[in-house]
Amino acid sequence: MSEHTFATLVSRWYERNARDLPWRVPGVGAWAILVSEVMLQQTPVVRVLPAYEAWLARWPTPAALAADTPAEAIRMWGRLGYPRRAMRLHDCAVAIVERHGGEVPDRLEQLLALPGVGTYTARAVAAFAYGQRHPVVDTNVRRVVCRAVAGEPDAGPATRPADLVATEELLPVEPAAAALASAAFMELGAVVCTARSPRCAACPVESICAWRASGQVAPAGPTRRPQRYAGTDRQVRGLLLAVLREASGPVPRQRLDQVWTDDVQRSRALAGLVTDGLVEPAGGESFRLAGDGPPTPAPALDA
Q: Assess whether pLDDT exceeds 80 at residue 116.
A: yes
pTM of the model: 0.88
Q: Assess whether pLDDT exceeds 90 at residue 295.
A: no
Q: Which of 3, 15, 37, 53 is catalytic?
A: 37
Average pLDDT of the segment spanning 115-123: 94
Summarize pLDDT for 131-163 with one digit per residue, the tens. Answer: 999 999 999 999 999 999 999 888 777 788 889
Task: Specify whether the CB–CB gap between 77 and 41 falls below 8 A.
Answer: no
Instruction: Please report the pLDDT score of residue 223 as a whole number.
Output: 55
Q: List, as one string, the DSSP characters of 241-302.
A: HHHHHH-SS-EEHHHHGGG-S-HHHHHHHHHHHHHTTSEEE-SSSEEEETTSS---PPPP--
Summarize pLDDT for 55-97 with one digit per residue, the tens. Answer: 999 999 999 999 999 999 999 999 899 999 999 999 999 999 9
Is 246 catalytic? The answer is no
Q: List, as one string, the DSSP characters of 96-140.
A: HHHHHTTS---SHHHHHTSTT--HHHHHHHHHHHH--------HH
